[in-house]
Amino acid sequence: MEIARPLLRWYRRVRRRLPWRETRDPYAIWVSETMLQQTQVGTVIPYYERFMRRFPTVRALAAAPLGDVLRFWAGLGYYARARNLHAAARDVVARFDGRVPSTVEELLTLPGVGRYTAGAVASIAFGARATVVDGNVARVLARWHAMRGDVKSAAMRQRLWRAAESMLPARGCGDFNQALMELGATVCTPIAPQCEVCPLRGGCRALARGLADRIPRPARRTMVQRETHVVAAVSDGERWLFVRRPRNGLWGGLWELPTLPVARTRVRDAVQEVLRRRELARARIESRPFVRATHALSHRRIEFVGYRCRVERTARVRGGRWCRLNRAERLGLSRAMQRVVAALRELVGANDGGLPSGRDRVA
């Protein structure tokens, strides 16, 4: 069965109207494809729209400080994507005079751009004959060919990429690739695929063999790592101390109330250690936590235990910033830290610290 024609007819009839589908701007498409990695469309849309308003061109992104970029990415997760996108934008300005490369080979030279992103940008923005295989496409192809292996294994990934390349039409590869992704996202879903409305049902080998709900093979469940992070919410009365996380690692480059991973048995004692590391050993610590909140990541569950602390006078903390809670989210906080700060605001009052003032400063 020839796949491109019925798939494209279906796609043009039912495709979702998404903001990045209303443009051929390669930069906008690149931003959207980066945000969509491991993140659902509904979550991405408002972040994409805010990001594009603030950084409408690759030159605007390249010229911005990394902290500003992370602030507009805050809450979207997988922050290495933002750091790589920023570095790649600077690379585009330096090496390509601000023009996003049009070939897969050149795109692959940019920081953080892999085979999928390069193929997506080249085909959608420039009409290049390039292949894409993401999770949705892999599922469609595995069912179409009745491939029973683990789609995340290296050998299976190579088979899937070869299959995708063999199915590319001579023209319209951008729409074809988007149609495959759309089919996997809306019809050929991981659970309960809607085979009765699939435009490719006539040639699907998994459907013909009664295997559509068993292909792809479920991945092995990864053990969830449990952690406890103690949070010291330090105030000088009006303002609260925020510090920036190291650039690399979990939530790299974002701001937070001073936090330290600890053993569960040492939670209360660990607050003193957080303060000591910030040279705030004389701060007074409340006896009971103001929050216990659990945040789930893909393979980690982190419990945040927060204690309020108070200093008599504003201390200078290297790399720290004292600011009012009603300005905190402007710094760029992870979604987990947003929850902690929200609990703190609820406790002390939503208008804690009054209106923003010029006293907010970097210490």
Tens of pLDDT along 180-237? 999 999 999 999 999 999 999 999 999 999 999 999 987 777 788 899 999 999 998 8
All structural domains of the chain, each given as residue ranges with its CATH number in brackets, are 4-208 (1.10.340.30), 225-362 (3.90.79.10)
According to the model, what pLDDT value does residue 352 have? Answer: 53
As a whole number, the mean pLDDT across the chain is 90
Helix H or strand E segment including 119: helix 115-126
pLDDT tens, residue by residue, 125-152: 999 999 999 999 999 999 999 998 888 8
pLDDT tens, residue by residue, 37-86: 989 999 999 999 999 999 999 999 999 999 999 999 998 989 999 999 99
Distance of alpha carbon 280 from its chain centroid, rounded?
A: 34
Rounded to two decimals, what is the model's pTM? Answer: 0.83
Q: Annotated catalytic residue: which of 22, 33, 196, 238? A: 33
At residue 117, does pLDDT exceed 80?
yes
For 121, phi then psi, to 5°, come to: -65, -45
Confidence of residue 360 (pLDDT cuts 50, 70, 90): very low
Q: What is the DSSP string of 52-104?
A: HHH--SHHHHHHS-HHHHHHHHTTS--THHHHHHHHHHHHHHHHHTT----SH
According to the model, what pLDDT value does residue 131 have? Answer: 95
Q: How far apart are CA 204 and CA 66, in angstroms?
A: 46
Look up 312 and say whether it is catalytic. Answer: no
Mean pLDDT of 87-109: 97
Contact by Cβ (8 Å): 55, 82: no
Q: How far apart are CA 40 and CA 44, in angstroms?
A: 6
Confidence of residue 281 (pLDDT cuts 50, 70, 90): confident
According to the model, what pLDDT value does residue 313 have? Answer: 75
